[in-house]
Every structure is written in C-alpha cells, then in structure tokens.
Amino acid sequence: MSADIRWDHHREGRTAIPEVVFGPGKTVEHVVRLFSEGEGFRLATRLSEAQMVALKDLATVDLVSRTAVREPRPMRSQPPVGILTGGTGDIPVATEAKVVLESLGHPVKSFFDVGVAGIHRLHSVLPDVKECPVLIACAGMEGALPSVLAGLVDSPVIAVPTSIGAGISEGGTVAMHAMLASCAPGIAVVNIDNGFGAACVAIKILHRLVREA
Amino acid sequence: MSADIRWDHHREGRTAIPEVVFGPGKTVEHVVRLFSEGEGFRLATRLSEAQMVALKDLATVDLVSRTAVREPRPMRSQPPVGILTGGTGDIPVATEAKVVLESLGHPVKSFFDVGVAGIHRLHSVLPDVKECPVLIACAGMEGALPSVLAGLVDSPVIAVPTSIGAGISEGGTVAMHAMLASCAPGIAVVNIDNGFGAACVAIKILHRLVREA
Amino acid sequence: MSADIRWDHHREGRTAIPEVVFGPGKTVEHVVRLFSEGEGFRLATRLSEAQMVALKDLATVDLVSRTAVREPRPMRSQPPVGILTGGTGDIPVATEAKVVLESLGHPVKSFFDVGVAGIHRLHSVLPDVKECPVLIACAGMEGALPSVLAGLVDSPVIAVPTSIGAGISEGGTVAMHAMLASCAPGIAVVNIDNGFGAACVAIKILHRLVREA
Amino acid sequence: MSADIRWDHHREGRTAIPEVVFGPGKTVEHVVRLFSEGEGFRLATRLSEAQMVALKDLATVDLVSRTAVREPRPMRSQPPVGILTGGTGDIPVATEAKVVLESLGHPVKSFFDVGVAGIHRLHSVLPDVKECPVLIACAGMEGALPSVLAGLVDSPVIAVPTSIGAGISEGGTVAMHAMLASCAPGIAVVNIDNGFGAACVAIKILHRLVREA
Amino acid sequence: MSADIRWDHHREGRTAIPEVVFGPGKTVEHVVRLFSEGEGFRLATRLSEAQMVALKDLATVDLVSRTAVREPRPMRSQPPVGILTGGTGDIPVATEAKVVLESLGHPVKSFFDVGVAGIHRLHSVLPDVKECPVLIACAGMEGALPSVLAGLVDSPVIAVPTSIGAGISEGGTVAMHAMLASCAPGIAVVNIDNGFGAACVAIKILHRLVREA
Amino acid sequence: MSADIRWDHHREGRTAIPEVVFGPGKTVEHVVRLFSEGEGFRLATRLSEAQMVALKDLATVDLVSRTAVREPRPMRSQPPVGILTGGTGDIPVATEAKVVLESLGHPVKSFFDVGVAGIHRLHSVLPDVKECPVLIACAGMEGALPSVLAGLVDSPVIAVPTSIGAGISEGGTVAMHAMLASCAPGIAVVNIDNGFGAACVAIKILHRLVREA
Amino acid sequence: MSADIRWDHHREGRTAIPEVVFGPGKTVEHVVRLFSEGEGFRLATRLSEAQMVALKDLATVDLVSRTAVREPRPMRSQPPVGILTGGTGDIPVATEAKVVLESLGHPVKSFFDVGVAGIHRLHSVLPDVKECPVLIACAGMEGALPSVLAGLVDSPVIAVPTSIGAGISEGGTVAMHAMLASCAPGIAVVNIDNGFGAACVAIKILHRLVREA
Amino acid sequence: MSADIRWDHHREGRTAIPEVVFGPGKTVEHVVRLFSEGEGFRLATRLSEAQMVALKDLATVDLVSRTAVREPRPMRSQPPVGILTGGTGDIPVATEAKVVLESLGHPVKSFFDVGVAGIHRLHSVLPDVKECPVLIACAGMEGALPSVLAGLVDSPVIAVPTSIGAGISEGGTVAMHAMLASCAPGIAVVNIDNGFGAACVAIKILHRLVREA
C-alpha cells in the first residue's frame, strides 16, 4: 500500500501542525517503518497494543494515551495550556491532548477529576486554571464540566466529549451534544475522545498568538 | 365524544393524585363543561389561548403556565418544595409544577434563573435550597443544572428538561438525555417540559412522608 | 494515576450518599487498593470478573449484581423499599439497587418477574407493594411495568429501564423513552440499567423523610 | 395530472381491499371528481377541511376520522372487530379504523379510554373484548395498552401507535417502538396513526376466515 | 434465582400461546432444568451454542433457528402458513417462525430466497403462496418483499424485518421502518428478527379461525 | 447582499451543469433581477408562490415542480431519460427532474404511478422503460420502487426518495435509507426530494456518453 | 417576571463577554426595558420582527442578523477576524458573528459565498484569509468548507454549521456532525446557527492574546 | 440450505451484472462449492479469513478487498473508471470497487489518499481524473471529497461513504449523509462501504454507453 500514501510534507508550514500517524487500520510493519525512516519529530496516536510494543525502542510510548513520540520539539517558555477532566475515566483522552501539546513544545498543566458532581473540586483549582490562556475540558456522561467552567474564566474553552458513560451516554454522543448546546458562551467542541484534535486547536491559537506578538 | 370518556373518580384515593384535565385535543366546550359540572378541586394544564379565555370566570387561570385551577386545596404546613430554573425561558415549565403543587396544598419556594453559566447564582441561594425536602430543577439547552445541584444537596432532585434551546438542543432531547446521564447520583428525570409530572412525583413523595410519619 | 484522583470525602455529609467505586476503567490493583485502605463502609458497582475475584476476601461480592460491599451500615427499622422487575432478565439491575440500599441500611422487599404480559402476577403482589413508601420498577423491552404500577399505588415510582431486549429494544432506549412518556403521573426515570442511581434517589427520599420527621 | 393516475381496478379482487382515496396532496377538484365519477363503493381518508366540505353532498363525511364514504357495503353477520384506545386523544385514529371496517361491511365494537394508567377500566370491559376475533388497540405516549391486552386475550392484537404525546413521545415513534418491543407475544404493529392500515389487516384476516370456512 | 421466577401456567388458556423459554440471560443449568422438569410441550428460542449442546438429549434442537422442542403438538389438518424470505440470510429467522408453528401443530410451507432483486422468483411461486391463509414475509436490507407481496395476495402479511444488511441497514432498523411505511395495505410488522413473534400472531389468527368456525 | 454573491460563470464548462438559482432564502427582487439581467439559459428551482408569480413574464414557470426556465437549450436527438414515480404524490419531484433535463435539451419519458403496491403497473410499462439509457425512480413511503426496478433493467437507476409519507416515513428518511440499503445492485441515491440532483447526475452521464462517443 | 431575572453584572469581568439579551421567549416590553434602562453597551440577538421594530429608536438594528446594538465599544487596532460562508444562505449566521465581534470592538473581514462546490472561489481569497489570526467558517448542507479551509491555514478555525439545507441536511445536524468528524485537524465547532457563540470563542482567544502580550 | 437457494442465472442478461457471492452468513463449504461447480466467471465479496483461505486454490483472492475472482472477463479497450479515496483507510473499499470492475473487464485508474485536508493532492491528479468518464469517490469521516470533486469535473461522481472514522463519524453515517447533502450537483451515493454497489452503477453506465454507441 506504500506507493498509495501521499505524505503531506508541507502540512506544518501550511497549518502549523505536522502530519501525524493515526494508528487504526495500519499494520505494525507500516507503523514501524514510519518511525524508522527519516529523522526528526514523529507522533502516532490511537495505537494498538501490538503497535505500542513494536515502537517501544523507536519512540517514547505512553500506555495511557496510546501514543508514541520520536524526537519531541524543545519546550517553549510560555504559560501552560490547562487540561481538565470531569472524572478519572477521561484521563486517557486528556493525556492524548497533553502528549500532543508537549511533544510539540507547548507546556501543559493538568487538573484531573474536577467534575461537577463535586463542584468544590473545580473551585479549589480555579486560581491556577485562570492562569492558562487556553483550556481543554474533557468530560463524558452529561458533559457539564465545560459549561460550568466557561462561566468562570476568560480563556477559550475547547470541550472534548469522551465516550465514558453508561446507558444513554455510552459512546459520548450525549456529552458532545450537551457541550454544543451549552448555555455558557465561549465553548468550542471537537469530536468524541478527540484529545488530538483539541490539542491542534490549542496549538493553532498559540501559534498565531506568537506570530501576532 | 362525551360517552366515550371514562372519568377515573377513584384515582386520587388510589394514587394520591386526582385526575387532571389535559388541554390538547379537547374542544373549548368540553373543557368548559368539565369546569362547570360538579364541585370541588379541578385542575387543567397545557391550555390553549381559547381555552384559557373560556375558563377565566370558572377558575383561576395562569397565563404563564397555561393552567386553570378551581377550588384549590388548603395550603398545608410543611417545608416547601424547591423549584429551580436554569434560565428565564424555563419559568413556564417551573410554574406549571408550582401551580400543580400549590393547588393541591403543597407550599413551594422558587429559585429562578440560577443556571450553571453563572454558578455563583446557585451558590447564593443554596442555604434556602437545602431546606427543601424535595427539589425540582428545570433546565433546557445542555441541562446541567440538576447535575451540579445534586452534588450539593441531600434532597432528591427531580429533573425537568425543557424544550428551551436552539440548534441541536431545540426541543429538549439533549437536556433530557444529559440529565439521565448525569454523573451525580440522586437525580430522577421526567419527560420534556413535564412540570406537571415532576409535581406529581413530589406529591407522591410528600404524601408518603406524611403517611409514614 | 493515583495522584490524579480526588476522593470526595464529604460527599455523604453533603448529599446523603457516600462516594462509591465505579468498576469500569479501573485496574484490578486500583480497586483492591481502594478496598484495602482505610476502614468503614465501601461499595463498588459494575465490577468485572477479575475485579470480583480479587475482592472476594476483602468484601462481600455479589455475582448477580456485580457489586462488592465492605462493612455495610446497620439495617434500619423502617418500611422496605419495594423493588419490582418485569422479567427475570431485569434481576441483575434490580439486585444492584437492592445491594446499594441494604448496604446503606435500608430494608428492601423484592417482587420479581411481575411484568405486564401476565398482569395477574402484579395484582397478586399488589397489597405488599402498596406497603412500600418508595418503589423501584425495573423493566426492559417495552418498559410498560412502571406505567401500570403508577396507576395502582400512591408511592413514588422510580423507573429503571434495562438493556434487556431484542431488535429495536436492545440496549434499553425504547424502554427508557417509554417510561419518560408514560401516561401515568408520578414516575421518575433514571438511566438504562442504573440500579445504583435508582437506589440513590430512594435513599435521598428516605433520608429527608427521617430528617423531616 | 389526471392522465398520470393509474387506478388499480382489480385491487380488491387481488388483495381483498379496494383502492382507497388518500386525501393529502390531492386538489379538492380531484377528490370531488373521484366521488362523482362511476358508482358503487368509494372511501377517502385523511381529508382536509376543504375536501370534507366539498364532499358533504356526495358521501357520508365523518369529521372525527376525516373520512368520506360513498355506498358502503352491506353489514355482514359476524362477530365484531374490537377497537380499543388508551385515551380520548386516540379516538380519531380508532374511528378511521372503524369507518374503514364498517364501510366494507365488517361490524365493530368500540372500547375507548381504557388505558393502562387506570387498568381497572380494561378489566371491566374484558369479557366483551374477549368475544372479538380480531382486536385493534390504539395508544400514544408510552403505547403500553397492546402489551397488557395481548397477555389477556387469545385473539390477534393489531397495535396502532398514535402521534398523541408530548416531549419525547410527540409524533408517536416512542409508542411505535414500544409496541414492536412488547414482551407479550401475538402483537403486530402498523405505522403511526394508521387506523386505515390496521383495518386492512383485520379485513384480510376476516376475508380468509370466511374463505377457509 | 429460581424462586424469583413465576411460571405463567395459564398463559396458553388465556392467550393461545404457551409460555416459551427465551434463552438469553439464562444459565445452561437453568435451561436444562426447565426441559427436565415436568412433561409435555416445551419450546426454547434464541439458544446459545452451549445451551443447544446441553439440550440435545432432552429435546429436538435445530441449529439454524437456535430452537429446542420437547413433545411437539400433533400436526393439524389445515392449510399451511406460508413463510417467505427475501434472501438466504433471512432463513434462520424464517426457520424460528417455522419451528414455533410446527411444534404447536400448525403446518407450514416455505418459499425462501424470493426477494425483489429478482421479482420473477416471487411470481413463480405465487400460486402456491396464494393458497396460504396467513403469510409471514422475512426480509432484511431495504425490506421491500412484504410491500410487493401484499399487493398480490388477499391474505394478511406478517412482516418480519431481519438484521441482515450492511452499512445503514445493518441491524434491521431500515427494513423495519420501511415495512411499517409500506404503501401496500394489509401488512402488520413485528420486531427485528422476531420469527417467534410472527408465528404467535399467525397462531392467534388460526386459533380464532378455528374457534369461530 | 448582491456584492457578496460570487456567480460561478465557468461552472458549466467545468462540470457540464450551469449554475442554477435555488429559490429558498432569496428575496423576490433578487430572483427577478437574476432573470432580468444578461441573456441565455436560466433555471430556478424550489420557488415560492411569490417568486413564481413575479417570474411569470420573464420565464416559463411550472407550478407543479416550482421551477422557472428562461431560454431553454434546444432539444437533442437522443434516447430519453426515463422518469418513474411510485405514486401521484411523487410527481412534483419527478417533474423537477424533468424540467431540469428538458430545459438543458435532454428528452424525457415519464412513467408515473407505477409503484410496487400494484407491481403489474410496472410490468406493463417495462418494455418502454428498458429503452431508456438512464432511469430516475422517485418514491416515498417505503421507497421500494428502485429496488424492484433495478432487478429488471440494465440501465443505471438514480433513486430519488421523496418526503411523501406518513408517520415514521414522513419526511423521506425511511425511503432514502431503504434505497441505500437495496438488495438490488446498480442503484445510486440522491437527497430527499432532490429531483434537480438526480437530473444533474443523468446529465453528467449523458454528457460523457456524448463526449466519449 | 422581572423579579425572577438575575442579571449577571460581573460576567464580562469574569468571562470577557458581557451578558447579552437572547430574544426568544421575551416579550417586546421586556426587551425594550432592557434597552431603555441604564447605559453603555447592550446587545440583543435572535430578535423577532416585533422586537426589532420596537428597538429601532433605541439601538442599531440589523435585519439580516436580527441583532440590536446600543453603544458599541470602540474599534480596536488589530488584525481582523475572518468570517467565511459556503453560500449566500449562510450570511445571516455569519452576520450575527460579525455584529457581535464589531460591537465589542473587534474588526472583521468577510469572505462570503466561497463554498466547496467551486473551490477556486476559496483559493482566490486565500491570501487575505491567511492574514486573519482567527477564522469563523459558516456552512450548511454537507458542511465541508471548514475541512478544506483548515488544511490551508495556520489559524484556528471555528466552524459554524448552519440550518441551511434540504432533505436530510435540513436543520443543520448533518453539517454539524460532518464538521466534528473532519479529517482536518484544528477545527472547533459550535452549535447550529450559533454565530454568537463562534464570535464569543474568537473574543476569548483575542482577549487572552492581548492579555498575554 | 442448498435447496432453498434460487441462483438467478439470467441476472446478467437482465441487469448487466451477474449474480455475485456475498460472503457473510455463508459457510466455508457453501462458498467453496459455489466456486467448484460449473465454469466461467465467479466473484465473491466480503469474504471472511476462513473463506479466503479456502478459496485460494480456486480463485484469485485479494486480501485487501476481501474478494475472490474466478475466470475474469477480458479487459476492454475503453477509458478507465477513476477511483479516488480521501485517505489510506478507504483503500479496502476502493479496492472492492476496483476488483469488481476489472474482473468484469472494465479498466480502472486509482487516485488514493487525495482527501480534502490537503486539497493540493487532488489538484495535482486532476488532469488525469478528468479523463475518466465515471468517477468513484470513497471517503469516511466528514465525507467531503465527492463534494469538492464534483465541482471540478464533468463526469458523474458515485460517492461511497466508508465506515472509517472515530467518535460521531464511526460507522460512516455522517459521511453518507454529508454526501447526500452535498452542495455540489452531480453526485449519487451508495451505501456505506459499498464498493461493490458503486462498481455496479459504473458498469451499468458503461454498459449503456456501449449499447447506445
């Protein structure tokens, strides 16, 4: 299949985000080859167990987020992106966003398990949250965290619905629709479990922030 | 059609809730007759403009909740049911619940426009909310209010999704599903815009509370 | 991940319901540690086979409801919560509700397999059902049991749709929507298969019943 | 458009049901012409106000069911089809079925407003219901009537979901899916509000019953 | 769990259909016990591999329809129920209907693989199809077979949508909705893959046919 | 708003289909101006009553299809596109396709009201249908016509679901999904009521047929 | 109802976005009072005809976007937010975003009618588009514009699905889901027709950009 | 089951497409027998691993598209059908279309991985794409490729939504609906992952092209 793939070498120049390896549907051999060839930054997401095992000598593999990173970019000196989760079940998705951001040199500060069923947990971290110029809020079930958060801060909130849930909320559609329907202005939503996509929005914001400065 | 109707005279004895007139699909004449015949308590909900005009000399008509009440029951001496709304758009539904409760003698305390986009509004009324043995929380859009509320109180929360919303949340299905999916335990949900149904659940709780005492 | 978890120690004081361990997404080690540390009441739900095996010396594990209980609260002297099921397939969900209630000291009386396809079964247990101040009705497929029940009793009915079904009703959405749409007033609904959630609503009702008495 | 219509003259011989005029999308003139031309039996359903006014000298117009009948067939001597409704709102749909059956000579017995919120109403008419060789049960909202009914009788139950409902059940999809999902065997379902379709199934059953006898 | 089960011994007398064992959710031991106890007719559907293996000495097990029958009723002398399928993939569902009917003494005639993509196949068996007083038509994908069939015959058509399909039709909802939406009158629909339910409707029709004769 | 519109003058050269005026959302003045300016071919679809009245001196307005044509292209000498409908309700959609094709010089032959509830109607026109190199089949309700048709002919079938239907099929989604799910190969589907889109596919086929010849 | 409204005076300080008047559900008198009281900035969206007429002497009313602005903030000197639309039907939504941004002092540059059916239109404005640090892309129907755009620029793309469409895409759900599903990274989505929400996300981004500078 | 299968020997003469073996639901033995009997062309699609292994000596098995071909037809001399994919994940579906076309003698030219996230990839192959008289465009996720393509070419575009996606787009429904909703005229859509169906439409177009020539 190799001849059929058109690697988009100029993507980062054009869009501020380099091409990234999406694990599903790729053979282990294919993924290994992509991390063996050439040099410099390489990032893979949504890796299978077998893909992670095969990459462990070629890259830094993170089992929670199912990612692999080769030659990450140097960390920049800038205020961190804040990443929040409603529960512990949302941590893999949040960690995918964290790995994408950090591998490309953007510092991150995590605030996990601060969901609305115990709203005091969010209040207790709010001063630190407010320091972050961009926020990523991951939640499953009823997906209420971004709505409460957006009413408390002046940073943009990128909402990531997660597939964590049961019954009607299993799979994440309820959380996603609730985030889109939020009564709190200033929320933008990405696809279910799309930590990668949320990180990309954050990177584009930060990239232009630097470019405009 | 009159001969076809089987009025359920024993419903209150059996279920603690008397039969109530549901406006839609009934002619003005039919509704007027039901309020002209017999005596004692009578309650109608979801009335049309024409039905409300026709009933105004026969009952206390409330334009906000589209209800009519004849000979309400005397008010009991008991702690009030708390009724909360996320926004002002939810007030008609909340008021339907209020009229049903008050007409059957159950005191109510309202906390309107305390939605999660400005969570301080809920915190400011919380002490009074906590005094209520049963809470009814009405919200449209993302429907997050009951989730935040249930994490703060030890009373049961009856959640009423409202049809208030736009785009994906128009009609109330998103709010309803989000309430069912809540990460906060102790929430029970009724149908969209069903202030009447929420009041009935509250009445059955209060009825047994008295019966068991 | 342990550092990321914010255990909500004050939840019971605030909401009448202590924090409960939700099995899915937790490692066996994590669950074991939560039952090894500290002392006093601990409850876990939705446990996997492996989690149940690992907990069997640390707690009372129930295979039907997939729950584990450590140091249950003493049983109170009060009328029982009635738990009904439409069929035998709904028993695991009903049992989850039962374990939650009993572990926190609330007596339960079960009425299983009394669904509407043989309505005489419900009639035969009705006198005992009527003694219960709160009812939990679990049903899958068309979910009609709570509708028939609510027309026969003066207690609140907490309806639990189950995922038992086939074809269009597989997964429980049809039962859930039918329960929300019920023509019988006084029904409040929780998420699909959410025996835990139904028990929490019942506990909050009973808690306030005691507090108000 | 007249030349484009291919009237199916042999439909009754082939299928036991003559071609019927479906009102929606037809001009008043078109409908009038169809009742002015030729002779013998003619039936129209789902008529608009204007169509009903225009037909009132050409046919027996029924305002409740929005039907018109010209030269009905003589009534047969056979046990009646039983038609039940859950509430009064279902009566228009039930009456459409009744008019179709009676206009083609099949006697009908009605049992209206016998829904499950007051199950004693169904028990009180049950002996008469059991005499009917075919039953048509119309219900909106949660659509539970056919499920309870089918567990009590040995006749086939044709279930007609109606669009009567509010919130999630508005439009009839919840009732239709609940009927298809019924735990009670021996139920067959037609489209929402399709009283005509239910009558056609009954006619085909009765037609073969006679043919086989 | 055994004490919780309320076997409905009078179901056949009341509804013409005896209680049947539904495999899913029952342990192998439970199913075996139900076929070991007592005597006379017993039928089980939707059996797992393990349940079928365990029953093979106690009943006639059919691998295609996943059913088991003990002591079937004697075959009656009456015209057969016609069972049609659109494709070969629908045969397991059709066979479930066939086993249910034959085990209760009702003769069946099968017309398999006569779907609308080659409509001549249906025309070629039509004379035999027309002899059947009741027809069961099973189809997946677009579910068009019952619509074409109902326009050609004067018997009632019980339509069984099957889960056979791909893409948008996988699972059978498209076929089910298309059957309910049919432009051909005289079709009644059961749940997806519900061969058992279709057979029950047919049995109730035939039972009353005999009773009325 | 005029300055904001970017008329795509080269669309026909690029895609074989000139830019067409879509009525909805445009003011009457805007539509009139588009038909007053310049010269040559102009086509508008989905016109409102007011738009049609305003255009009647500027173009040939067709009330059935709600279209207007200015300076149609000369008719070509080629075999006609066949346009079929299931019922008379589908004729407006079919006529939109017809007007688009004829206005651009492609002959059409219509076969209306040949739906599957009376399949003999389709058989009777089949020889003429087979002469057409491209077929457009419009149907609402269960949408079975293209499935039957595609099994009988060697031309490509462009299926147009229509919004004609009732209950579950109202709006056309059932018909659209059924057409996509068809068991008959060689069907391609366009959006609901999209006679224009079907005509465009036919035009592109015929355009290349000429170009390749 | 006035006493029930809790105006959130500190919202702008907390969230960078002042409270805005949402027209639907408010009486004309209520809206007029909100624009008559106090002084300084006031913005209303989604106004009815009557509300717009009543406000025309109190504010700058825009008929396309159905907004009213009183005392807009002075325009800042900063690069403009780029607002793109796929078609002309999306202009009202785009204009709502434009009015919100401009009224709060953020310059805007519009690129309307640059949808993917004629991709050259997007390429021709691309150099100007690339100058904008934040982009808002509005599209209905298949909603492809943000996907193509995000592959061409290094700014964040806020995607606004619009309700413009027909058949399956009417109402905007298809466009919204397609935007969430985009293969192009760096897209964040708001609710259907939510030009206001998109503007709020842009404002929060620009606000932090200034704060961090 | 063999006796139940009615092989449609005349299908190719009638519809230009021979009967094809659909793997799912068939035993390995059954599939092997179909490739062992008779002679001449035979094609199977959607084969399982076991079916492919069993056929490897009887036919040319393609692992990517899960197809098997026996005695393909000689390749014709005609311009190729163009097959495009948005990403590499769509290649199996595209290859199914390719195998069907080539096995029946129609040449194919592939343009894989030319999706809209990097639109320059499509522009770079456009001259070759324009030479193809029929185009098949396969895409998952947001499904935008056919919309962009149809605005650039004068050939008909057969759009194949694929199940490739994540979150809301998993399974392909979003891509399918987006393709049907396209703002670009001249697109016709087949079922999700239906490479076979797309090839059949192309074959019918090419067959008539030849027949008319």
Q: For the segment F98-136, what is each residue's pLDDT rounded down to a tens digit?
A: 999 999 999 999 999 999 999 999 999 999 999 999 999
H116 and G183: CB-CB below 8 Å?
yes
pLDDT reading at F73 higher than 70: yes
Task: List chain C residues with CB under 8 Å of B20.
Answer: 185
DSSP per residue, A138-192: EE-TT--HHHHHHTT-SS-EEEEE-S--SGGGTTSHHHHHHHHT-SSSSEEE--T
Mean pLDDT in chain E?
93
pLDDT band at D25 (very low <50, low <70, confident <90, very high): confident
Q: Could you give the CA distance from residue E137 to residue A25 in angstroms, rounded to a whole number?
A: 39
- Among F185, F196, F204, the residue with its CB nearest the CB of H156 is F204
Q: What is the pLDDT of residues F37-52, one digit of tens each?
A: 988 999 999 999 999 9
What is the model's pLDDT at position G213?
66
In single-letter form, the type of residue at position A149 comes to L
Burial of G37 from C-beta contacts in 10 A (0-12 / 13-18 / 19+): exposed
Q: Could you give the CA distance from residue A159 to residue A180 in angstroms, rounded to a whole number?
A: 9
Q: Which residues contact D199 (CB under 8 A, 6 or more apart)?
A: D81, D96, D97, D98, D100, D101, D136
Q: How many CA atoms lie within 13 A of C78 on its CB side?
A: 26
* Chain-centroid distance, C-alpha B80: 14
Which residue, among H68, H64, H67, has the nearest Cα to H92 in the 3D structure?
A: H64
**Residue that the structure tokens 């401009």 belong to:** G102
Q: Could you give the CA distance from residue G112 to residue G137 in angstroms, rounded to a whole number?
A: 10
Mean pLDDT of G164-170: 94
Q: Which two tokens stand for residue C84?
A: 């009904």
Q: Could you give the CA distance from residue D41 to residue D80 in angstroms, rounded to a whole number?
A: 21
Mean pLDDT of E12-20: 92
pLDDT reading at C1 higher than 60: no
Q: Could you give the CA distance from residue F18 to residue F72 in angstroms, rounded to a whole number?
A: 12
pLDDT band at A8 (very low <50, low <70, confident <90, very high): confident
What is the model's pLDDT at position C2?
44
Q: Which residues pair with A60 in a beta bridge?
A: A69
Q: Could you give the CA distance from residue D173 to residue F166 in angstroms, rounded to a whole number?
A: 12
Q: Which two tokens stand for residue A102?
A: 């950090």
Task: List chain D residues with CB under 8 Å of C168.
Answer: 177, 180-181
Most confident range (mean pLDDT) of B186-195, C19-28, C31-40 is: B186-195
Which residue, among G123, H109, H133, H159, has the nearest Cα to F16 in the 3D structure?
A: H133
What is the model's pLDDT at position A213?
67
What is the model's pLDDT at position A211?
77
pLDDT reading at E8 higher than 60: yes
- Which three-class secondary structure state does DSSP give residue H139? strand
Q: Which two tokens stand for residue B106?
A: 């159950």
Q: What is the pLDDT of residues B70-82, one digit of tens each?
A: 999 999 999 999 9
Residue E140 backbone zone (phi > 0: left; psi -120 to 50: alpha; other: beta): beta
pLDDT band at E2 (very low <50, low <70, confident <90, very high): very low
pLDDT band at E102 (very low <50, low <70, confident <90, very high): very high
C192 and A167: CB-CB below 8 Å?
yes
Q: Could you give the CA distance from residue H26 to residue E89 in angstroms, rounded to a whole number?
A: 8
Q: Which two tokens stand for residue D166?
A: 């509010």
Q: Which two tokens stand for residue F170?
A: 């109202």
Q: Which residues contact D178 (CB under 8 A, 6 or more apart)?
A: C142, C143, C144, C174, C175, C177, C178, D142, D143, D144, D147, D161
The dihedral sign for the CA sequence B9, B15, B21, B22: negative
Q: Are F160 and F137 contacting, i.e. CB atoms less than 8 angstroms apart?
A: yes
F168 and D163: CB-CB below 8 Å?
no
Q: What is the pLDDT of residues A69-117, one digit of tens each?
A: 999 999 999 999 999 999 999 999 999 999 999 999 999 999 999 999 9
Residues of D with CB under 8 A from a CB of E: 11, 14-17, 20, 78-79, 133-134, 150-158, 176, 180-181, 184-191, 196-198, 200-201, 203-205, 207-209, 211-213
Q: What is the pLDDT of residues G32-64, one digit of tens each?
A: 999 999 889 999 999 999 999 999 999 999 999
What is the model's pLDDT at position C212?
74
Mean pLDDT of D140-149: 97
Best of A90, A113, A164 to substitute, by most chain C Cβ atoms within 10 angstroms, is: A113
Neighbours of C38 (CB within 10 A): 10
pLDDT reading at H213 higher than 90: no
What is the model's pLDDT at position G147?
97
Which residue, among A64, A164, A78, has the nearest Cα to C4 in the 3D structure?
A: A64
What is the model's pLDDT at position F143?
97
H88 and A25: CB-CB below 8 Å?
yes
What is the model's pLDDT at position D157?
98
What is the model's pLDDT at position F3?
44
- Please give the C-alpha separations between residue G142 and each of B166, F45, G123, H143, H170, in angstroms, as whole numbers: 20, 19, 19, 8, 17
pLDDT band at C4 (very low <50, low <70, confident <90, very high): very low
Which residue, among C164, C87, C96, C152, has the nearest Cα to E6 in the 3D structure?
A: C87
Neighbours of E71 (CB within 10 A): 12
What is the model's pLDDT at position F213?
66
Torsion of CA E174, E177, E178, E184, to 10 degrees: 170
Q: Are B102 and B75 contacting, i.e. CB atoms less than 8 angstroms apart?
A: yes
Beta-sheet pairing, E67-70 with E60-62: antiparallel
Mean pLDDT of A160-178: 96
Lowest model confidence (mean pLDDT) among A66-70, E173-177, G113-117: G113-117
Best of G145, G164, G168, G170 to substitute, by most chain F Cβ atoms within 10 angstroms, is: G168
Neighbours of F (≥3 Cβ pairs closer than 8 A)?
D, E, G, H
Q: Which two tokens stand for residue E70?
A: 């003990």
Query: Scanning every residue of chain B, which has its alpha carbon at the shortest distance from the alpha carbon of D142?
Result: B191
What is the model's pLDDT at position G1?
37
What is the model's pLDDT at position H5?
59
What is the model's pLDDT at position D1?
37
Mean pLDDT of C89-93: 96
Widest Cα–Cα separation across chain C = 55
Neighbours of F3 (CB within 10 A): 6
Q: What is the pLDDT of residues H77-133, one digit of tens each?
A: 999 999 999 999 999 999 999 999 999 999 999 999 999 999 999 999 999 999 999
Q: Which residues contact E111 (CB under 8 A, 6 or more apart)?
A: E82, E83, E84, E85, E125, E128, E129
Report the interhelical angle of F195-212 vs H195-212 (nearest 10°): 50
Q: What is the pLDDT of residues E117-161, one digit of tens each?
A: 999 999 999 999 999 999 999 999 999 999 999 999 999 999 999
Task: List chain G residues with CB under 8 Å of A197.
Answer: 185-187
What is the model's pLDDT at position G38?
86
Task: List chain H residues with CB under 8 Å of F207.
Answer: 154
**Residue that the structure tokens 């498209």 belong to:** E174
pLDDT reading at B5 higher than 70: no
- Please give the C-alpha separations between residue D87 and each of A146, B31, B43, B197, D162, in angstroms, as whole numbers: 43, 16, 18, 17, 10
pLDDT reading at F162 higher than 80: yes
* Chain-centroid distance, C-alpha C25: 21
Tell me, what DSSP letter sits at residue A115? Answer: -
Which residue, among H113, H111, H20, H109, has the nearest Cα to H72 in the 3D structure?
A: H20
Query: Scanning every residue of chain B, which has its alpha carbon at the shortest distance from the alpha carbon of A149?
Result: B117
Lowest model confidence (mean pLDDT) among C15-19, E172-176, F2-6, F141-145: F2-6
Outline where G47-111 has alpha helix (H): 49-55, 91-103
Nearest CA of chain H to the CA of E54: how many Å? 24
What is the model's pLDDT at position E5?
59
